[in-house]
Amino acid sequence: MKILVVQDYLRSGGTERQSVLLTNEFAAAGHDATLLTFRPGGALAATVAPAAPHHILQPFDLGLDWFAPGLLRFARRSVYDVILCMGRMANCYAGGLQHRLPATAVVGTMRTGKALPALFRHSLRTVSHVVANSQDARDTLVRQHHVPSDRISVIYNSLVFAPQSALWRNEPLRAQHGATSRTTVLLCVAMFRREKNQRELIEIVAGLPEQLDWQLWLAGDGPERAACEQLVAEKKLGSRVKFLGFLKDPTPLYCAADIAVHASWSEALSNFLIEAQAHGLLAIAYAAQGIGECFLPGRTGWVIPRHDRLAFRDTLTRRISEPAVAHAERSADARNHARTTFDRARQVAAYLELFEKLAHPSASAR
């Protein structure tokens, strides 16, 4: 099959990582897969495999996520069997692509808990099919956007970073940041944007009981980082809260931390949480679309009602104080659940099976 994956820009976000992963895997499976981005560059640009051509629409980076000059012309010239639109901006174009390319199966995606732009909503009603990355997202499509259920498939995010086959503890990294064997390391890997809500995590940990031994590691970069650093300074938490910057591969952090924490109120199924679970980290997160599907609620992760800072803090306190044996048992369950549910080969095969049905409906019906 000829497959085009459309993404506005290869910033370091979860959707962008999925876009690159899927394109690379489609190409590795022998398909003619191309990644198309509106803007050049981005933190993940170097991760596109040589076997997957990367075409860029803007001649130089204009800083405009929505500007896609020549998108229709490129898609029409290459005659793709399937066009997969990833991210908000790409999905805003999906409906127009489907209208002008009726012989092509244009597939939209629902991967966000944010309010959808009007063009995105239009696309949901126009494209051949929609992939939701959680059951919760599927329910939102049916209930709020009136997309027929038979035009929706649920395909979970894939694990981007393959978990270590053998368990190992990154003690050198812990020691580098002053964490002892008794320290509980809390981890959040996310871009510093307002909707990721790292400020809330800082406010939560600032109220933890003084006798608890913990650190909060915040990995990532973005426009909200400076404000978060200022808040940490104001609360005199500099010895406890660490800013680690952007890492192309956060695996060393997963192998050094103990609990994944996530405070976004508008997140969809979180790549960070499923990666953390696959490495055995327990998870505590505010309720948002698909969050409860990242882990086994009440066993390997806990969903906290939005804005309930006290409940989040109390849950953290209980997990930090939990006996090591109980924590180890929960961690094993987390690894098993995540490595099975979000297995890369399983998710890629689900996409390719769907694409075959959409591109060759008569053959699929036989």
Q: Does residue 190 share a domain with residue 249?
A: yes
In a domain, 52, yes or no: yes
Give the pLDDT confidence score for residue 13 in this predicted structure: 87
Which residues, 6 or more positions from 123, have their beta carbon under 8 angstroms from its beta carbon?
85, 91, 92, 93, 94, 95, 96, 98, 108
Closest CA to 75 of 47, 94, 52: 94
Buried b (16+ CB within 10 A) or exposed e, 339-357: bebbebeebbebbbebbee
Q: Please state the domain count of the chain.
A: 2
Q: Does residue 113 share a domain with residue 240?
A: no
Q: Does residue 242 share a domain with residue 101?
A: no
Instruction: Please give the Cα distance from 90 to 133 (Å, whole number).
Output: 16
| Residue 18 pLDDT exceeds 70 | yes
Q: Does residue 199 share a domain with residue 84?
A: no
Give the pLDDT confidence score for residue 366 in this predicted structure: 47
Query: Could you read off the pLDDT of 70-79 as tens digits, one per residue?
Result: 999 999 999 9
Give the pLDDT confidence score for residue 324 in this predicted structure: 82
β-partners of residue 216 are: 186, 241
User: Which strand (E) or helix (H) includes residue 84?
Assistant: strand 82-85
In a domain, 195, yes or no: yes
Q: Residue 11's domain spans which residues? A: 2-158+343-365
| Residue 60 pLDDT exceeds 80 | yes
Q: Which two tokens stand for residue 238?
A: 């500099």
| Residue 15 pLDDT exceeds 90 | yes
Report the CATH number that the domain containing residue 268 is assigned in CATH.
3.40.50.2000
Q: Does residue 186 share a domain with residue 333?
A: yes
Q: Does residue 278 share a domain with residue 177?
A: yes
Q: Does residue 360 share a domain with residue 284?
A: no
Instruction: Please give the Cα distance from 301 to 311 (Å, whole number).
Output: 14
Q: Does residue 310 share a domain with residue 247?
A: yes
Task: Name the strands in the sheet holding 259-262, side by side, starting at the edge strand that comes first in the sequence.
Answer: 241-245, 214-219, 184-189, 259-262, 282-286, 301-304
In a domain, 166, yes or no: no
Give the pLDDT confidence score for residue 41 in this predicted structure: 96
In percent, how much of the chain has pLDDT > 70? 98
Give the pLDDT confidence score for residue 327 in this predicted structure: 84
Provide DSSP, 130-172: EEESSHHHHHHHHHHH---GGGEEE-PPPPSSPPPSS----HH
In a domain, 107, yes or no: yes
CB 22 within 8 A of CB 158: yes
| Residue 337 pLDDT exceeds 80 | yes
Q: Does residue 229 share a domain with residue 125?
A: no
In a domain, 165, yes or no: no
Q: Does residue 188 share a domain with residue 269?
A: yes
In a domain, 163, yes or no: no
Instruction: Please give the Cα distance from 134 to 62 (Å, whole number).
Output: 33
Instruction: Please give the Cα distance from 197 to 353 (Å, whole number).
Output: 37
Measured in Å, how far apart are the chain's first and last C-alpha atoms?
19
In a domain, 164, yes or no: no
Q: Does residue 327 share a domain with residue 227?
A: yes
In a domain, 24, yes or no: yes
Which residues, 6 or more positions from 46, have their beta carbon under 8 angstroms from its beta carbon?
none
| Entry pTM | 0.90
Query: Could you read off the pLDDT of 265-319 as tens digits, one per residue?
Result: 877 789 999 999 999 999 999 999 999 999 999 999 999 999 999 999 999 999 9
Query: Could you read off the pLDDT of 236-273 as tens digits, one per residue?
Result: 999 999 999 999 889 999 999 999 999 998 777 899 99
Q: Does residue 78 share a domain with residue 34?
A: yes
Closest CA to 22 of 116, 113, 115, 155: 155
CB 159 within 8 A of CB 341: no
